[in-house]
Amino acid sequence: MSKSLISLILGALLLTGCASGPKPLYNWDSYQQVVYQHYQQSESDPQAQIDALKKSIELSRAKSLGIPPGLHAHLGMLYGATGALDLAMAEFNEEKVLYPESAEFMDRLMKNKGMQK
């Protein structure tokens, strides 16, 4: 084999190895868009946002990707806004399980919503 053919083969192998890239850690899906809409629209529909975030969680699980930090917390705040405090507390607790560093903040949210003493 000539040197140029070997170089060509090695180059092709290197490029193919780089093409796949690493698997993402989280499935961000529509989460960032939902949060943006929440803060941009004064009369945003919490139920539509809840539905979008629940769909994002299902998609994350289907793709075996992590649920982004803050998604369950935001979902909990949306549930709290609709008066579903039991669902809000469940989401805050799920955020604490997935991201223990958020426990202090989640406890504060639960206390502010009257869900924890």
For 90-111, b/e burial (b = at least 16 CB within 10 A) is ebbbbbbeebeebeeebeebbe
- pLDDT > 90 in the chain, percent: 45
pTM of the model: 0.71
pLDDT score for 59: 93
Quick one: pLDDT band at residue 13, thresholds 50, 70, 90?
low
Cα separation, 105 vs 27, in Å, equals 23
| pLDDT, tens only, 53-97 | 999 999 999 999 999 999 999 999 999 989 999 999 999 999 999
Residue 58 is encoded by which pair of tokens? 């299902």
Close Cβ partners of 102 (under 8 Å, ≥ 6 residues apart):
69, 70, 73, 95, 96
Q: Kindly indicate the confidence band of residue 8, based on its pLDDT and cuts at 50, 70 and 90.
A: low
Cβ atoms within 10 Å of 72's Cβ, excluding its own:
24
Give one DSSP letter per residue of 83-116, joined into a string. T-HHHHHHHHHHHHHH-GGGHHHHHHHHHHTT--
Distance CA 78, CA 97 (A): 19
Tell me yes or no: is domain 25-112 CATH 1.10.3470: no
Quote the CA–CA distance of 60 and 69 in Å, as a whole number: 12
